[in-house]
Structure 1
Amino acid sequence: MAGNPKRTSRAPSRWGYDAERLPAALDELGGPEGGKVELPLHLAWSGLRVFDISDVKLLLGLYRIVLNNGSRDDFVEYLNPDLLIRYWPILRKMLGRGVRVPWEETFPELRPSDSAVA
């Protein structure tokens, strides 16, 4: 039985999620640009829960937790569109394919540039 070469849907990953979990547009994201953020227990149930966004390592940790474990409401509350775009080249390396691919397929501004100039 031959498969349809145009088929793009995949079985849901246990480590990822489908695009329906994402906001419709990045401008729906209303996360803070600075300050400290305390994540609720449903996102950060072990370890650090308060993140100072001015510290890039902490910001990346916060975004990784939210991207991996969050719901649409969590994305809207904790992710800032400008920071997400700015740090996506680093974040995408920290995320599994099941998380990274839906974000990049839904939001072209997060896709890596094929024409990077050296």
Structure 2
Amino acid sequence: MRRYAKPVVVADDLTLLHGLTAGVVTLPRHLDWSGSADYDLESPGRIVDLYRTVLIEATKPADLHAFLDRVILTQLWPSLWLPPELRRAWEERFPELPRSGSRPAAA
């Protein structure tokens, strides 16, 4: 029996991620239908929720490009809970993303 699998969407290039880095972001209904689609980027918990929601629910690269920022994504990446197949697809495409639990090499 085959289960339904949501397609994994990955950005075309990290340099295309130019989402807002301050203020309040309201996600469109196709990304967040929960009723609380406003994300205050000054709130650490809400920015993590925004990034996780967009990464999981994106239906096309343009969703990622519009709502994610490269620098913030790179900072949050190791601590984001994501489905394993989604994390793997992003890390295979972008080896520069820090791995979960990775530590800088000792000098």
- Give the TM-score of the pair, scaled to structure 1: 0.76
Measured in 2, the distance between the counterparts of 1:23 and 1:62 equals: 16
Identity level (%): 35
Measure how far apart 1:23 and its partner are: 2.4
Runs of 4+ off more than 6 Å: none
Matches within 5 A, 1:15-26: 15=6, 17=8, 21-26=9-14
- Give the TM-score of the pair, scaled to structure 2: 0.84
Matches within 5 A, 1:79-118: 79-91=68-80, 94-112=81-99, 113=102, 116=105
Residue identity matched to 1:72: P
Q: Answer whether contact 2:74 2:98 (CA < 8 A) is retained.
A: no
Residue identity matched to 1:14: A
Measure how far apart 1:24 and its partner are: 2.6
Structure 1 residue runs of 5 or longer lacking an equivalent are 1-12
Q: Secondary structure at the match of 1:51?
A: strand
Partner of 1:6: none
Higher helix share: 1
Say which one has the larger Rg: 1
Matches within 5 A, 1:1-118: 14-15=5-6, 17=8, 21-70=9-58, 71-91=60-80, 94-112=81-99, 113=102, 116=105
